[in-house]
Amino acid sequence: MKVMGYAAKAMKAAHNNMDIDQVEDLMDEVKEQQQIAEEISNAISSPVSFGQDVDDDELMKELEEMEQEELDKVLLETGPSPSKTAELPEVPTSPLESVAAGTSKTKKKTTEEEDELAELAQWAN
């Protein structure tokens, strides 16, 4: 009988701090959380309709565009630009020897040819 007495005292002690309004509020909170959990579960388990209305040609076109963009990026990448202080050769200010020599030879040939033509013209007359 002592055991039942201890149980009764324990239940009485537990119920002393409880109010029926508190219990109802707690039960309402539990129900609300169960509803939220059920909504989440339904959302996760429902089939997603993505992909049913997608055209394969559109997907291929989009893929090709993305590949072209990537290729454009690769092609447009250039190496480092040459430094602004790079040494460049100086431009010559005097006429080049080979050109100058060639010019005088050309003038000589032209003069010789003119002289020969003049001689031929005199001989023919």
SS3 of residue 123 by DSSP = helix
- The model's pLDDT over 93-106, given as tens digits with 9 standing for 90+, comes to 887 776 555 555 66
**CA distances (Å), 112 to each of 64, 72, 116, 118, 119, in order?**
71, 63, 6, 10, 11
- Separation CA 119–CA 103 (nearest Å): 25
Cβ burial of 104 (10 Å; 0-12, 13-18, 19+) is exposed
- Separation CA 66–CA 41 (nearest Å): 36
Task: Output phi, psi for 29, to 5 deg.
Answer: -65, -40
- The model's pLDDT over 53-97, given as tens digits with 9 standing for 90+, comes to 667 888 899 999 999 999 988 888 776 666 666 677 888 888 777
- DSSP assignment of 42-58: HHHHSPP-TTSS--HHH
Q: Does pTM surpass 0.85?
A: no
